[in-house]
């Protein structure tokens, strides 16, 4: 699933490509992708004729502002892609479920093989009642907090660190990949209790979280072996070349040369260096 760095990369691309553009037509090929609307035509009618005025991110969600205060909400789910096309003559990818054509030319296409992602239009007021958005925790790239405040939030939760970092109600946007990379950078094990950290470890964790996510955005996100994640222009990310532990089971730790190990955490794989992380 695309995480904060991948979604932030797409947000920045969209900001350059769609702001000021007016929607000419909307074609819905897969109703599941617009499932919060009763019908595909209902979704279409909420978008056609509207100008895109802003693009922001809330955790793993993209929020595209429209010219009458409505908002187009986009969640990529497990396998979703937003792709820019020059026009109808560009080859159509398999599993393209929504095609937005602009009056100025060009298209925005929503591709999603597994159909866990979605698009829907809501009002700015109703946006606050969308459960997935109303309960999001702090944004580690947008919200700066003191180490003391961060430490207090950790101490209040009494939760294993990896589980807590992936809890969207605690911190928005971090998933399986970046929780492992952050914990390695901080020198902390996945199963350390959030209330067991020293002041120095709290500082290391906060710094590792901000620096790892910022660096991943700089490299335009991570594309794994399936290359499922692609940016707005169809290019893969490059942060996977910088991964220290994720998906590197059996390979040498780049810090100490011991082997990276994989363990199961809540049914998912976690990667770590047993020597560097305590």
DSSP three-state, residue 118? strand
Q: Which residues of 182-197 are buried (b: 16+ CB within 10 A; e: fewer)?
A: bbbbbebbbebebeeb
Active site residue 15: no
Query: Which is catalytic among the residues 3, 8, 181, 201?
Result: 3
Active site residue 3: yes
Q: Are 103 and 160 in contact (CB under 8 A)?
A: no
| 176-186 vs 199-218: helix crossing angle, rounded to 10 | 130
Query: Which is catalytic among the residues 44, 46, 57, 60?
Result: 60
Annotate 60-91 with DSSP letters as a single string.
TEEEEEETTSEEEEEE-TTT-EEEEESSTTSP
Active site residue 60: yes
Query: Which is catalytic among the residues 32, 114, 149, 268?
Result: 268
Distance CA 233, CA 253 (A): 33
Cβ neighbours of residue 84 under 8 Å, at least 6 residues apart? 13, 17, 106, 107, 108, 109, 232, 233
| 199-218 vs 4-17: helix crossing angle, rounded to 10 | 40
Query: Which is catalytic among the residues 2, 5, 8, 140?
Result: 2
- Residues annotated as catalytic (active site), given as ranges: 2-3, 60, 268
């Amino acid at each position: 699933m695309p995480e904060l760095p991948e979604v932030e990369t797409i947000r920045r691309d969209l900001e350059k490509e769609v702001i000021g553009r007016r929607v000419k037509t909307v074609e819905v090929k897969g109703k599941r992708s617009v499932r919060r609307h009763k019908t595909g035509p209902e979704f279409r009618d909420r978008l056609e004729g509207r100008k895109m005025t802003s693009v922001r991110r809330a955790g793993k969600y993209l929020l595209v502002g429209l010219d009458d205060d409505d908002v187009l909400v986009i969640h990529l789910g497990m396998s979703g892609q937003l792709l820019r096309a020059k026009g109808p003559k560009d080859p159509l990818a398999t599993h393209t479920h929504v095609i937005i054509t602009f009056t100025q030319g060009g298209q925005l296409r929503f591709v999603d093989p597994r159909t866990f992602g979605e698009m829907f239009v809501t009002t700015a007021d109703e946006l606050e009642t969308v459960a997935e958005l109303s309960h999001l925790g702090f944004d580690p790239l947008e919200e700066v907090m003191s180490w003391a405040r961060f430490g207090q939030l950790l101490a209040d939760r009494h939760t294993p660190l990896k589980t807590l970092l992936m809890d969207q109600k605690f911190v928005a946007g971090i998933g399986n990949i970046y929780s492992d990379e952050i914990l390695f950078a901080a020198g902390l094990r996945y199963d350390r209790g959030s209330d067991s950290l020293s002041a120095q470890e709290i500082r290391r964790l906060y710094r590792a979280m901000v620096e790892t996510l910022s660096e991943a955005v700089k490299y335009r996100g991570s594309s794994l072996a399936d290359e499922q994640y692609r940016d707005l222009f169809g290019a893969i990310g490059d942060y996977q070349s910088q991964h220290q532990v994720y998906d590197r089971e059996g390979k040498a730790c780049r810090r100490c040369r011991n082997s990276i190990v994989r363990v199961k955490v809540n049914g998912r794989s976690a990667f770590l260096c047993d020597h560097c992380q305590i």
